[in-house]
Structure 1
Amino acid sequence: MLRARSTAEEWMDDEAATEADFRGALSDLERINRVTLAYRPTLRWLDDLVRRTGASSLSVLDVGAGGGDMLRAVRRWADRRGVAVTLTGLDRSPWAEPAAREAGTEADWITDDLFALDPARRFDAVICSLFTHHLRDPDLVRFLRWLDARAERGWMISDLHRHPIPFGAVWAGVRLFRMHPMVISDSTISIARGFSRADWERLVAEAEVEATIRWAVPFRWTVSRIRA
């Protein structure tokens, strides 16, 4: 059943989802991100970006920023590395920014559909983690081109590998730890909507962008470009 990307809809993407459900899911998703080392691929890529470009300051946009936990991780990374960062979160949910602010996220914020962003707006780096599986293939091809047009120094995607092992582990884990019903519902759908290397190779070729596809532990793919 995981041979091709699922088109099943996630509860989090439902406009009828409540703020209480959204916030409850964000809390558990942050726990999952910490346990599964979800920040590590993005922070390692930022290390590589700084090394290859010599940048001492960066404007960074996080697409699908949710509750801002990735932005907070980038802020900590920048403080350790001595890199001056200007951070911006983008999420279409009206509840994302309040949740991020309450969690202490220091960033500008855009509440809108990503494709509605001013075409003239540019950032040094554009990142997104566990976001692209929410997009169907035609929109994902469009998003790859969008990234390439808006990132001056580079862009990076980190998302799930579609495979029975993470599917089974996540199915059991979210129930064992009694996570929010939205997380229980969406977690395995997210993996079923995830990617194989062949998927990424096809999508990158269709978008006609230059990108490097790499495996990341555990069960994740990164797709990125650095303009050195």
Structure 2
Amino acid sequence: MQSSAKIHLRTQTLLLQALRWMTGLPSEARLDFNHRVSPHQLPELMDGDCSYEDFCDCLRSLEQVNRWLLGYRPTLAWLKRLSHGLPHPIHIVDVGCGGGDLLRKIADWAAKEGVAVQLTGMDLNPYSARVAADSTPQKSGITWVTGDALAYRPDKPVDVIVSSLMAHHLEDSDIVLLLRWMEATARLGWFINDLERSEHACLMFACIAKVVRWHPFVRHDGPVSFRRAFRKEDWIHLLAAADVPQEAITIEHWRPGRLCVGRWK
């Protein structure tokens, strides 16, 4: 009788072969997921030049991805650990905010929980603020900023920094700089919500994207993102390089396909 471990391994192998076939990848093809691929070596279409219309449609597809694949859940669960009696309003900054969908979810959560917040979304891409503003009710009071987070000097001190699906767009050296900036800037804590480098998650995403027919940028960039993503040992190395105290960090797996890093001070 085969051991359960062998049966599990065989099942996983057959599943991967099926996923490769569904995505059009030859069964004998093997992508290396043992190491993170540099964004410079493997670019995403979203990071290149494109029209406002393409960028907007891409972000709308990404919002659907986050909604369908439970992408907001890790960040909201982390924010729920905020205790009452904290300074009000809590200033939360979303770095790499894209179309602003995460901050809209945070605004809904804060209203439901009775937490007073000041929300700021910032992104390097000038299209982002325009898409976010067009997609967000004015009554939300969210501020949209175009610029480099490392040069950001807000009028009001920042209490919490969040980031979603942004870190994998950065080279390791830039991630270290970002970690140092978050550590020095956020008074209460910070949270990075990103992807876990996994062949299974990559192929599963590619299958879903092909069936749903999300924007072509998303269908191309999703599998690329998984190859540029992280495993726990990557984050341990990056946090050490940024001199972030390891005992204050949580690194959590969230299905499907997320690996998140949190820090409360």
TM tier relative to shorter chain: over 0.9
Structure 1 window deviating more from structure 2 (16-25 vs 70-79): it is: 16-25
Specify the alignment match of 1:221 in structure 2: 259
1:48-67 pair list within 5 angstroms: 48-50=81-83, 54=86, 57-67=89-99
Deviation at 1:155, TM superposition (A): 0.5
Specify the alignment match of 2:14 in structure 1: none
In 2, Cα distance between equivalents of 1:121 and 1:195: 32
Q: Percent identity?
A: 38
Deviation at 1:31, TM superposition (A): 0.4
In 2, Cα distance between equivalents of 1:102 and 1:17: 19
Deviations 1:168-200 (A, max 9, x none): 011111111111111111111111110001111
Q: Aligned-residue CA RMSD in angstroms?
A: 1.6
Report which of the two has the higher share of strand. Answer: 1
Asked whether the 8 Å contact 1:160–1:195 carries over to 2, the reply is yes
Specify the alignment match of 1:147 in structure 2: 182
**Which consecutive residues of structure 1, in runs of 5 or more, have no partner in the other structure?**
none
**Which consecutive residues of structure 2, in runs of 5 or more, have no partner in the other structure?**
1-31
1:183-198 pair list within 5 angstroms: 183-198=218-233
Deviations 1:17-66 (A, max 9, x none): 22111111001000000011111111111111336x74553110000101
Cα 1:81–1:121 change in 2 (3 A) is closer
In 2, Cα distance between equivalents of 1:207 and 1:120: 26
Specify the alignment match of 2:103 in structure 1: 71
Asked whether the 8 Å contact 1:155–1:226 carries over to 2, the reply is yes
Counterpart secondary structure, 2:188: strand
Asked whether the 8 Å contact 1:155–1:224 carries over to 2, the reply is yes
In 1, Cα distance between equivalents of 2:108 and 2:173: 35
Specify the alignment match of 2:217 in structure 1: 182
Amino acid in the other structure paired with 1:38: G
**Moved >4 Å (runs of 4+):** 53-56
Counterpart secondary structure, 1:4: coil
Cα 1:117–1:11 change in 2 (3 A) is same
In 1, Cα distance between equivalents of 2:155 and 2:133: 26
In 2, Cα distance between equivalents of 1:44 and 1:93: 28
Asked whether the 8 Å contact 1:71–1:89 carries over to 2, the reply is yes
Asked whether the 8 Å contact 1:60–1:124 carries over to 2, the reply is yes
Q: Does 1:40 align with 2:78?
A: no
Specify the alignment match of 1:5 in structure 2: 36
Q: What TM-score do you get using the length of structure 2 for normalisation?
A: 0.81
Specify the alignment match of 1:101 in structure 2: 133
Deviation at 1:120, TM superposition (A): 8.2
Specify the alignment match of 2:113 in structure 1: 81
Work out the number of aligned pairs and report it.
225
Counterpart secondary structure, 1:88: strand
In 2, Cα distance between equivalents of 1:121 and 1:12: 31
Q: What TM-score do you get using the length of structure 1 for normalisation?
A: 0.94
Asked whether the 8 Å contact 1:121–1:150 carries over to 2, the reply is no
In 1, Cα distance between equivalents of 2:165 and 2:82: 20
Asked whether the 8 Å contact 2:91–2:156 carries over to 1, the reply is no
Asked whether the 8 Å contact 2:132–2:144 carries over to 1, the reply is no
Amino acid in the other structure paired with 1:183: V
Cα 1:218–1:193 change in 2 (3 A) is same
The structure number with the bigger radius of gyration is: 2
Deviation at 1:218, TM superposition (A): 2.0
